[in-house]
Amino acid sequence: MQQLLLIRHGIAEDAAPGQPDADRALTARGRERTAAVAADLAGLVERLDRLVSSDLLRARETADLIAEAVAVGEREVFPGLAPGADPGAVYTRLAGDTDVDTIALVGHEPQMNLLLGMALTGEAIGPARFRKAGVALVEFPGPLRPGAGRLAAFLPPALGFRRRGR
C-alpha cells in the first residue's frame, strides 16, 4: 500500500508592493502552526520516503519544517505543484514511484484540492477546502494513480490530534 500526504503551505506574508508571489515567506504564526502540524505528522507517519514541494518559497519553508519533525528519505522541488499547474502532470510524475511507501506533496490551493479530487475520483475536482497547513492522507492499495485512492484522514490545522487533549 502506498500513502500520499497532500499538505498546503502554512500562513504566508502578504506580498509587498512589487514583490513576486513566489517570494512570499511564512509568517511567524505560519511557522508556528506549521511546526505544530509537522509534529502531528510525526505521530501519523513514521517516515516520508519522498518529500516534494512547490518551488515557491512558502511551500519550500513548509517542507523544511516538516523535514525537521519527520524522517525524510529524499527531498525534491517540483514546479508542477505551483498554483495553476496541471494536477494530471503530478500523477504522471508520481507514476514511477512504485518503490516508495509514503510521499508527501507540499503545495497550494486549489492545487492540493484538485490533487485530492483526482486521487479519489480520477477527476480534477475540488472535494474539500484545505486550510493553510491542512493535510490530507490518501491511501492507495497499489500504485499512486488517479481514482484509486481512499481518504484515510483530513486534518485541518486546528484539529491536530496531538493538541486535542489540551
- Alpha-carbon distance of 105 to 78, in angstroms, equals 9
15: its cell numbers:
506580498
Most confident of 82-86, 133-137, 158-162: 133-137
Other residues' Cβ atoms within 10 Å of the Cβ of residue 84: 7
DSSP H/E element including 6: strand 2-8
Domain map (residue ranges) of the chain? 2-11+24-159
Q: 21-57, pLDDT tens digit by residue?
A: 999 999 999 999 999 999 999 988 989 999 999 999 9
Tell me the percentage of the chain whose pLDDT exceeds 70.
95
Q: What is the pLDDT of residue 81?
A: 96
Q: What is the pLDDT of residue 164?
A: 39
Q: What is the pLDDT of residue 127?
A: 86
- Alpha-carbon distance of 72 to 49, in angstroms, equals 6
- Alpha-carbon distance of 104 to 7, in angstroms, equals 7
What is 2-11+24-159's CATH number, 3.40.190.10, 3.40.50.1240, 3.40.50.11900, 3.40.50.2030? Answer: 3.40.50.1240
DSSP H/E element including 98: none
Mean per-residue pLDDT of the chain: 92
